[in-house]
Chain A
Amino acid sequence: SQQGEEDPQALSIQEGENATMNCSYKTSINNLQWYRQNSGRGLVHLILIRSNEREKHSGRLRVTLDTSKKSSSLLITASRAADTASYFCATTPAGGFQKLVFGTGTRLLVSP
């Protein structure tokens, strides 16, 4: 598999439910970030977690990072219809300058 693979590829939930997306990567990293992309639009930075951190919160977002398993998860609590979007993890490889290596993304659909 390639650096940055998310699962599931698609997730459909009801408003108010929690959504969990997972990301796996293959190489050592400096940090991992999550971005949201509404259909056909730009990427919006959500949260960054550094390689020496295990968990981070921002509003309704909770991100975990397990460097031993090379994996991360993004939890969106109490989802809203406005959360409908694609979510991508992006890693900054250790030793890399600053380029981001994006995953394949999870398409989240939140129904009212």
Chain B
Amino acid sequence: EPEVTQTPSHQVTQMGQEVILRCVPISNHLYFYWYRQILGQKVEFLVSFYNNEISEKSEIFDDQFSVERPDGSNFTLKIRSTKLEDSAMYFCASSATTSSYEQYFGPGTRLTVT
């Protein structure tokens, strides 16, 4: 069964460093998302991406964040200058079409900023 994959599973970085989290969505899906979950809190939407552009973003997704689909398979989230409060689990998700709202999530990348 097709699945969303994410790398790395765990990333440790120092405050102020740039990180890139990588995702490979399900191959025939057209819509891509990033969510985050701070430990013990609810899952929060960050950004959605369709047709090579951001379709919606949350207040969390400020200028420090960017997303890219550099090729036909990868979808990346970049945090330019990490802060301690960026420590969280980051989930990538994808969905097939607008008529199909099921989103399929990857296993997540745990980001620890020290």
Report the bound CA distance from A31 to B42 in whole Å: 19
Q: Which of B35, B42, B104 has the largest count of A CB atoms less than 10 A from its CB? A: B42
Name the interface residues of A33-68: CB closer than 8 Å to any CB of B: 33, 35, 40-45, 48
Q: Interface size for chain B: under 10, 10 to 19, 20 to 34, or 35 or more residues? A: 20 to 34
Q: What does DSSP make chain B's interface, helix, strand, loop or mixed?
A: strand
Q: Which residues of A contact B55 (CB under 8 A)?
A: 97-98
Kindly report which residue of chain A lies nearest to residue B98, judged by CB atoms. Answer: A98
B91 touches A48 (CB 8 A): no
Chain A interface residue count, Cβ-Cβ cutoff 8 angstroms: 25
CB distance from A30 to the nearest CB of B (A): 7
Interface string of B29-41 (1 = CB under 8 A from A): 0010101000000
- 19 new A-B contacts, CB < 8 A, other than A33-B101, A90-B43, A96-B56, are A31-B101, A33-B103, A35-B105, A40-B110, A42-B108, A43-B91, A43-B93, A44-B105, A97-B48, A97-B50, A98-B48, A98-B55, A98-B103, A99-B48, A99-B56, A100-B103, A101-B45, A102-B45, A104-B42
